[in-house]
């Protein structure tokens, strides 16, 4: 707060000064609210284990492996589990029920993501010499542009617990439907509306988006696999408990 502002407050009555101070606090951008982080080390009661909640769902927890854009197990991922808020799991179960009638299933790559994992991504992105996974995950993007182009950020909706990365697979075999690009592929071809993918890929992307939207999710314009629960229970809280 600058000296001119303080000088103006001193000229006001006590009541007026208090009002001005209150307004000043309200005018300051709500960074503290938006950047809130809960340093909980155990799973909150509002979260569920996705596989236990929906036994038929397929999981592929790539961040608990070396098969991801970093090329190593990501901080905070200690097991092949996915956690998600209970309302998100309830909505996903409805999508799963519709797909199962046609011998299909959801396959989930990531749900809740600890803040420490996001911090790991940021550190990795700043190390421009580490490009061992570039050819498979970001062949057309210079690593120094990952922040500029929005592929890496210091905060992720995943840490709020109601964002999900997923695709559609055959229920029995687990074979993925063709989507035109693989998960976490940093390229415009991964945008849901990209017209360069095949007709079948566009149809499969539209099927996934239609079902997710029908059951309360909204899509991300840059990633066909990424969906956020519209009525997420923790819109301003970024959790950091590990995935055990």
Q: What pLDDT, in 10s, does the model give residues 66-103?
A: 999 999 999 999 999 999 999 999 999 999 999 999 99
Residue 181 in tokens: 């690009």
Cβ neighbours of residue 155 closer than 8 Å, sequence gap 6 or more:
35, 118, 238
Q: Is the pLDDT of residue 2 over 70?
A: no
For residue 201, the model assigns a pLDDT of 98
Q: Which residues pair with 229 in a beta bridge?
A: 217
Give me the phi and psi of 203, to 5 degrees please: -65, -40
- Measured distance CA(110)–CA(218) in Å, rounded: 16
For residue 42, the model assigns a pLDDT of 81
Contact 179, 201 (CB under 8 A): yes
Query: pLDDT-based confidence at 4, cuts 50/70/90?
Result: very low
For residue 1, the model assigns a pLDDT of 47
- Measured distance CA(53)–CA(97) in Å, rounded: 13
Residue 144 in tokens: 């120094």
> Is 0.75 topped by the overall pTM?
yes
Q: Which of 41, 61, 95 is nearest to 165 (CA)?
A: 61
- Measured distance CA(12)–CA(77) in Å, rounded: 55
For residue 238, the model assigns a pLDDT of 95
In the chain, CATH 3.30.1380.10 covers 38-239
For residue 99, the model assigns a pLDDT of 98
Q: Answer yes or no: 86 catalytic.
A: no
Residue 192 in tokens: 């849901």
- Give the helix ranges, DSSP H, for 127-226: 134-137, 199-214
Fold designation for 38-239: Muramoyl-pentapeptide Carboxypeptidase; domain 2 (3.30.1380)
pLDDT digits (tens, 9 = 90+) for 209-227: 999 999 999 999 999 999 9
**Angle at CA 48, nearest 5°, toward 167 and 80?**
60
Query: How many CB atoms lie under 10 A from the CB of residue 184?
Result: 22
pLDDT digits (tens, 9 = 90+) for 158-215: 999 999 999 999 999 999 999 999 999 999 999 999 999 999 999 999 999 999 999 9
| Given the residues 154, 223, 232, 244, the one annotated as active site | 223
Q: Which of 52, 57, 63 is nearest to 116 (CA)?
A: 63
Q: In 81-177, which ranges are E strands? A: 83-85, 104-110, 163-170
- Measured distance CA(100)–CA(55) in Å, rounded: 12
Q: Which of 168, 159, 88 is nearest to 122 (CA)?
A: 159
Average pLDDT, the chain: 88
């Amino acid at each position: 707060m600058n000296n001119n502002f303080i000088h103006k407050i001193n000229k006001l009555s006590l009541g007026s000064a208090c009002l001005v101070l209150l307004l000043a606090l309200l005018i300051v951008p709500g960074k503290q609210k938006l950047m809130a982080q809960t340093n909980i080390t155990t799973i909150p009661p509002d979260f569920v284990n996705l596989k236990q909640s929906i036994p038929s769902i397929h999981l592929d927890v790539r961040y608990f492996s070396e098969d991801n854009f970093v090329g190593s197990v990501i901080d905070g991922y200690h097991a092949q589990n996915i956690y998600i808020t209970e309302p998100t799991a309830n909505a996903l179960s409805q999508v799963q029920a519709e797909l199962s009638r046609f011998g299909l299933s959801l396959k989930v790559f990531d749900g809740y993501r600890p803040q420490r994992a996001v911090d790991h991504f940021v550190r990795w992105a700043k190390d421009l010499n580490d490009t061992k996974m570039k050819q498979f995950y970001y062949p057309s993007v210079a690593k120094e542009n990952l922040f500029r182009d929005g592929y890496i950020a210091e905060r992720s909706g995943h840490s709020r617990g109601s964002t999900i990365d997923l695709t559609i697979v055959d229920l029995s075999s687990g074979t993925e439907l063709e989507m035109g690009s693989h998960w976490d592929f940093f390229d415009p071809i991964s945008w849901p509306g990209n017209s360069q993918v095949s007709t079948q890929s566009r149809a499969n992307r539209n099927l996934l988006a239609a079902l997710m939207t029908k059951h309360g999710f909204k899509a991300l314009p840059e990633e066909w696999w990424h969906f956020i629960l519209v009525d997420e229970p923790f819109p301003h809280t970024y959790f950091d408990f590990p995935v055990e």
